[in-house]
């Protein structure tokens, strides 16, 4: 069956928008033309006039919570939330219960994603059994089961020797190590960043060094082992500086940043509301500016959401006792488009690249491209309609966001995976 998306705004190689008609058949893009008549007959025609068509967004850092925490999210609800946010490929972290540290759990996640039939779900596997930092998992068996990389996200690997051993094995398997960088000796009992907000409320603060120490350590270990080392959710000026220096001397390091670390600082936290509690925490304006600069110059390669749903009851426990994390799928693109592209600070092409082509390149995915022959993973976006962020409308089980009430443009309205429609915003077309 041939599907034609007509009158879509497509980014040219020069970054301008051009009106194009796209034909899809067999899950791939078969034609991109300026004249509709060239494409012939189609079983379905979708008029995308006035909308932006881009490759499906890719999120390489998400939490789907299943198995073990289905009250927060499931593979199905998380996948639906991702599709609504314009994401077509997502990579889920292993800090579930049981931890994704065995082929059986990797296969469980893959099976759940297949049953959901929505977006492509790529499971990471844990570096250490139970994410306890004591014993390495069976990397070879986990790769064979379909894991795309190794990470103990949620906790940092505290032992340098353990991390070096993991990197050696991963390098031998041509697999990446993805690191949550946090020195536990510096963060015990902390809920927010070290700084003015912590001082004002009498809270113990998480210092920047807790992240940067692990970044520096792991860069040296990556240099020694030759592994592809990827840094999770970078949030500090020191980390950006270390990654930039590592890249300059040819160490194989890549890095990611979240929308909230590009948009918010500790100065923006309105009070002891745990919807503003995430790990890494919101830091200083200096750190925010360093992350923005790092993203623009390529030090930070990609944008991820770190989608981390929790129940309302859990977040109601307050800043000290509530779990870390906020949801991100359904607000990521509109937030960044409104704050940076619509204001003229960034080119639209840069934002799209950091959320599509760059993650596909870094993690060697068959995705992230809008070209003839490419997989028909696509997202249609309304750049003009302004709406408020309303957690009640989220497809995710999690409603925990600090962005409630923000007025944004750039909302995804239709999402295709392998040419199949997996999300359509009602009355959007």
Looking up tokens 């488009």 gives 337
Which residues are within 8 A (CB) of 276 and not within 5 positions of it... i.e. 6 or more apart? 264, 268, 269, 270, 282, 319, 326, 402
Alpha-carbon gap, residue 41 to 39, rounded angstroms: 7
Report, as residue numbers or ranges, the catalytic residues.
306
User: Are the beta carbons of 369 and 54 closer than 8 angstroms?
Assistant: no
Q: Is 58 helix (H, G, I), strand (E, B) or coil?
A: strand
User: Are the beta carbons of 21 and 39 closer than 8 angstroms?
Assistant: yes
- Residue length of the chain: 429
Residue 126 φ/ψ, nearest 5 degrees? -70, 150
Alpha-carbon gap, residue 413 to 429, rounded angstroms: 8
CA distance to 39, 83, 346, 366, 410, per residue, from 6 (Å): 10, 21, 27, 24, 19
Which structure tokens are listed for 29?
């893009």
Where would I find the beta strands (DSSP E) of 12-124?
17-25, 28-33, 44-47, 52-55, 57-62, 87-92, 120-123
| HEC sequence for 264-292 | CCHHHCCCCCHHHCCCCCCCCHHHHHHHH
Looking up tokens 């509530």 gives 322
């Amino acid at each position: 069956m041939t599907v034609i998306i007509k009158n879509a705004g497509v980014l040219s190689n020069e970054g301008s928008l051009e009106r194009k008609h796209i034909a899809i058949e067999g899950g791939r893009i078969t034609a991109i033309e300026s004249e509709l008549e060239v494409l012939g007959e189609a079983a379905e025609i979708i008029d995308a006039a006035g909308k932006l068509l881009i490759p499906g967004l890719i999120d390489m850092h998400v939490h789907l919570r299943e198995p073990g925490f289905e009250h927060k999210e499931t593979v199905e609800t998380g996948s639906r939330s991702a599709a609504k946010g314009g994401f077509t490929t997502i990579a889920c972290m292993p800090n579930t219960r049981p931890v994704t540290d065995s082929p059986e759990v990797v296969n469980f996640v893959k099976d759940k994603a297949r049953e959901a039939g929505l977006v492509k779900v790529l499971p990471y596997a844990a570096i250490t059994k139970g994410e306890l930092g004591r014993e390495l998992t069976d990397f070879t068996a986990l790769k064979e089961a379909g894991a795309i990389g190794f990470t103990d996200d949620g906790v940092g690997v505290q032992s340098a020797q353990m991390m070096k051993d993991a990197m050696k094995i991963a390098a031998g398997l041509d697999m990446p190590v993805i690191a949550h960088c946090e020195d536990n000796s510096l963060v015990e009992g902390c809920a927010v960043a070290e700084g003015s907000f912590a001082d004002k409320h009498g809270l113990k603060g998480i210092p920047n060094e807790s992240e940067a120490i692990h970044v520096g350590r792991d860069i040296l270990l990556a240099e020694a082992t030759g592994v592809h080392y990827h840094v999770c959710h970078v949030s500090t000026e020191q980390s950006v500086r270390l990654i930039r220096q590592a890249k300059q001397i040819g160490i194989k390091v890549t890095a990611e940043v979240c929308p909230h670390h590009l948009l918010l600082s500790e100065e923006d936290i309105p009070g002891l509301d745990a919807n503003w509690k995430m790990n890494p925490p919101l830091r200083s304006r200096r750190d925010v500016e360093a992350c923005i600069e790092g993203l623009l110059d390529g030090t930070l390669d990609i944008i991820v959401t770190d989608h981390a749903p929790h129940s309302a009851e859990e977040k109601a426990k307050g800043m000290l006792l509530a779990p870390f994390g906020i949801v991100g799928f359904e607000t990521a693109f509109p937030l960044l488009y409104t704050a940076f592209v619509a204001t003229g600070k960034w080119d639209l092409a840069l934002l799209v690249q950091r959320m599509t082509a760059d993650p596909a390149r870094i993690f060697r995915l068959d995705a992230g491209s809008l070209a003839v022959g490419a997989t028909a993973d696509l997202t249609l976006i309304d750049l003009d309609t302004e709406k408020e962020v309303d957690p009640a409308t989220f497809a995710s089980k999690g409603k925990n966001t600090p962005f409630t009430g923000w007025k944004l443009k750039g909302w995804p309205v239709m999402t295709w995976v392998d040419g199949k429609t997996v999300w359509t915003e009602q009355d959007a077309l």
